[in-house]
Amino acid sequence: MCGIVGYVGKRDAYPILIKGLHRLEYRGYDSAGIAIVNPQGDLNIYKCRGKVFDLEKFTQDKDVSGTAGIAHTRWATHGEPNDVNAHPHYSESRSIALIHNGIIENYAVLKEALVENGYTFQSCTDTEVLVQLIEYIKSTTNCSLFEAVQSALKRVVGAYAIAVVEKGNYDEIIAARKSSPLVVGMGDGEFFLASDATPIIEYTDQVVYINDGEMALINRSKPLKVVNLDNVETRIGIEKLEMSISQLEKGGYPHFMLKEIHEQPKTIVDCIRGRVAADGSNVVLSGVLANKDKFLNARRIIFVACGTSWHAALIGEHIIEDMCRIPVEVEYASEFRYRNPIIYPDDVVIAVSQSGETADTLAAVEVAKQHGAFIFGICNVVGSSIARATDSGAYIHVGPEIGVASTKAFTGQVTVMTMIALTLAKEKGCISQPEFTEVAQGLLALPRLVASALELDKQIKDLSKIFTYAHNFIYLGRGYNYPAAMEGALKLKEISYIHAEGYPAAEMKHGPIALIDSEMPVVVIATANNIYDKTVSNIQEIKARNGRVIAVVSENDTQVKDIADYCITVPEAPECLMPIVVSVPLQLFAYYIAVNKGRDVDQPRNLAKSVTVE
């Protein structure tokens, strides 16, 4: 997810664009850039790795005059965060500059055709391909910039919100969107453009939301024009902004964590985009396929991770062993790095890290590299230290996760692990096509199932009021639901400060059941699976000791709903995907209890989003 802003009007563009980037920095912050057209028609482009602050320092002594311009703060998807890959990207003649939020899925095919027509590229981004394509169309058909953009977008597959400016064209910005947000602010003789309303609201509360498949021609001295890609003009609906700036950065949610919980249907789409065939017949994870022999001939797969990422790795262990019959171990990175582990050159080590900067996980990677193991990364932040330290990897593409408590990254990690298992099982020939398709179609259905689970929001909010003042919690689950129970407990403890522990449900009899009384609430994940009856027995054991049970059950549950004190019903999915579905109500449960207790949900005490120290 990146942030884009634009301005054309009567004021200097530079301060408006820079301030707008600061408002959008929550969307991405690994590099930034700006392009301004001055009154002489010069197109000045400045960009650099780093935050918006670094861009300000970089442009201190530059010509940033002009009242028309665009600017971008990046969350890398294709191409490391560096000066060259930063936006704006410009055409070969440097006469067109473009900024982009989204992913051009067919950029490789488009790039190949442009190379054949003699084009050269500075960066390895998908975005540069688009601006070069626009120039190619403009130069070969002698059409207007607007027409060239329109024609280029008809050839694009993927998601985009773009803004384009042109040398010598002092009055215009051309914008367009598909699957990525874009809004135009309607000022008095001036126009604002942004990924959301936060950069706009201090100038005007009159906005036009550009719809999917639409383009906007923004000219300082003409009315806004909005058309579709067939150039059919669409009615412009001006809306009035009602929200405060701080709310807008959170998309109207009170906390980033709640926003990110509710983003999960979309982030799962982003995670599987271009990787799972629309009919579920195939899964393509390029990093795995390119190194399939390493995986298929591996003596073992060893996951190294911390916290929530370690819980995701436990699920990865289960699904890869179950589906691919490859031995898997899961290690706390902090323990692995210091205990002189036995690592073989034919081991594959998978490092799991949302931030890609966790010191213990990075150190564990280095230990594994010293022993010659093949290192694979599952990260969210493109170009992060762990991502750069690995031999290959798969990004989870869930966008910046701002809330310290990991939510959408967890579901993204489990989604990627499922795709790894499917890819390897198919290559190894140890999964039937029907079994493969069932799980792959389960992945395709996940956004809908997670959206359905999010409809529990009100029920969970009401339930949280009953347990706000509990002093302890136990979370239980079996099989795939055991790591989900551990993750649910971590969510609660890290944002509400209530002590909570996750256990395999069968483990209760080996000690923890001594804790059960009427003061000990127990969350039991009891969804339908081959050990459901055993979990039912565990619930009965708890009830026999006056424990209060909150059960997470499947839609067609037959027994638990008559035993548990409270039931949370979630939709069915393939068993290996249920940790993703059940984690949604548990995330909400932790969130609302923390809010009830007045906690700093996004920045809980003592914690940091990325533990870059030991």
Q: Is 266 a catalytic residue?
A: no
Q: Which of 73, 127, 361, 385 binds ligand AGP (CB under 6 A)?
A: 361
Tell the burial category of 282 from Cβ atoms under 10 Å away from its Cβ (0-12, 13-18, 19+): middle
CB of 595 to ligand AGP, least distance (A): 16
Nearer to ligand AGP, 58 or 410 (CB): 410
Q: CB of residue 581 vs ligand AGP: minimum separation in angstroms? A: 18
- How far apart CA 509 and CA 540 sit, in angstroms, is 12
Contact 349, 386 (CB under 8 A): no
Identify residue 200 by its one-letter amino acid code: I
Q: Helix H segments across 395-531?
A: 408-428, 433-454, 457-467, 481-496
Q: What is the DSSP string of 328-394?
A: EEEEEHHHHTTS-----TTEEEEEEESSS--HHHHHHHHHHHHTT-EEEEEESSTT-HHHHHSSEEE
Taking the CA atoms of residue 444, residue 449, residue 454 and residue 456 in that order, the dihedral angle to the nearest 10 degrees is 180
Shortest distance, CB of residue 401 to ligand AGP, whole angstroms? 8
State which of residues 198, 355, 423, 481 lies at the interface with ligand AGP (CB under 6 A): 355
Which residue, 253 or 566, has its beta carbon nearer to ligand AGP?
A: 253
d(CA 564, CA 438): 31
- Which span sits near ligand AGP by CB under 6 A: 110-118, 182-190, 303-311, 452-460? 303-311
Distance from C-alpha of 315 to C-alpha of 322, rounded to nearest angstrom: 11
Closer Cβ to ligand AGP, 445 or 495, answer by number: 495
Q: Is 354 in the site for ligand AGP (CB under 6 A)?
A: yes
- Total binding residues for ligand AGP by CB under 6 A? 15
| CB-facing half-sphere around the CA of 347: CA atoms within 13 A | 23
Q: How far is the CB of 364 from ligand AGP (least distance, A)?
A: 11
Rounded Cα distance, 415 and 426, in Å? 17
Beta carbon of residue 179, minimum distance to ligand AGP (angstroms, whole number): 26
If the CB atoms of residues 310 and 467 are measured against ligand AGP, the closer one turns out to be: 310
Element (H, E) at 146: helix 145-153
In terms of Cα–Cα distance, which of 228, 105, 126 is closest to 177?
228
- Select from 253-261, 270-278, 347-355, 572-580 the region that touches ligand AGP (CB under 6 A): 347-355
Query: In the complex with ligand AGP, which residue's Cβ is closer, 171 or 600?
Result: 600
Between 307 and 393, whose beta carbon lies closer to ligand AGP? 307
Among 98, 182, 306, 382, binds ligand AGP (CB under 6 A): 306
- Candidates 81, 307, 377, 447: give the one binding ligand AGP (CB under 6 A): 307
Sheet architecture: strand order including 566-570: 499-504, 472-477, 521-526, 548-554, 566-570
Contact flag: residue 308 with ligand AGP (CB under 6 A): yes
The residues that bridge with 217 in the sheet, in sequence order, are 174, 225
* Active site (annotated) includes residue 2: yes
Least Å distance between CB 531 and ligand AGP?
Answer: 27
Least CB distance from residue 338 to ligand AGP, whole Å? 17
Strand order in the sheet with 225-228: 89-90, 96-104, 158-166, 169-178, 214-219, 225-228
Q: Does 411 bind ligand AGP (CB under 6 A)?
A: no
Read off φ and ψ for residue 255, nearest 5 degrees. -140, 150
Smallest separation, CB 495 to ligand AGP (Å): 8
Among the listed residues 494, 557, 575, 602, the single contact to ligand AGP using CB under 6 A: 494
Q: In the structure encoding, which two tokens stand for residue 377, read together?
A: 């990364």
531 binds ligand AGP (CB under 6 A): no
x-or-dash string of contact with ligand AGP, 595-614, rule CB under 6 A = ---------------xx---
- Catalytic site residue from 2, 379, 567, 576: 2
Tokens of 362: 């990075």
For strand 347-353 and strand 374-379, is the pairing parallel, antiparallel, or unpaired? Answer: parallel
Contacts of 308 (CB under 8 A, 6+ apart): 354, 406, 409, 410, 487, 490
Window contacting ligand AGP (CB under 6 A); options: 104-112, 226-234, 304-312, 573-581: 304-312
How many whole angstroms separate alpha carbon 41 and alpha carbon 495? 53
For residue 608, the minimal CB distance to ligand AGP (Å) is: 8
Does position 67 interact with ligand AGP (CB under 6 A)? The reply is no
Nearer to ligand AGP, 358 or 423 (CB): 358
Q: Which stretch binds ligand AGP (CB under 6 A): 186-194, 355-363, 549-557, 570-578?
A: 355-363
Identify the active-site residue in 292, 369, 534, 609: 609
Q: Does 309 bind ligand AGP (CB under 6 A)?
A: yes
Residue with smaller CB distance to ligand AGP, 353 or 464:
353
- Determine the interface stretch with ligand AGP among 21-29, 256-264, 353-361, 511-519 (rule: CB under 6 A): 353-361
Name which of 96 and 590 has its Cβ closer to ligand AGP.
590
Closest residue to ligand AGP using C-beta atoms: 307
- How many whole angstroms separate alpha carbon 259 and alpha carbon 502? 25
- What SS3 string covers 495-562? HHCCEEEEEEHHHHHHCHHHHCCCCCEEEEEECCCCCHHHHHHHHHHHHCCCCEEEEEEECCCCCHHH
- Report the side by side order of strands in the sheet with 3-8: 43-49, 31-37, 68-74, 3-8, 191-194, 183-186, 206-209, 239-240
Q: Nearer to ligand AGP by C-beta: 66 or 403?
A: 403
DSSP H helical ranges for 234-306: 245-249, 256-262, 264-272, 286-289, 292-296
Does the footprint of ligand AGP cover residue 248 (CB under 6 A)?
Answer: no
| CA 309 vs CA 154, 386, 407, 410: distances in Å | 39, 13, 10, 7
Q: Which is nearer to ligand AGP, 361 or 418 (CB)?
A: 361
* Interface mask toward ligand AGP for 369-408; x: CB under 6 A: -----------------------------------xxx--
The half-sphere exposure of 272 on its side-chain side, counting CA atoms within 13 A, is 29
CB 118, min distance to ligand AGP, A: 43
What is the closest distance, in whole angstroms, from the C-beta atom of residue 307 to ligand AGP in the complex? 2
Residue numbers of the site for ligand AGP (CB under 6 A)?
A: 306-309, 353-355, 358, 361, 404-406, 494, 610-611
Catalytic residues: 2, 609
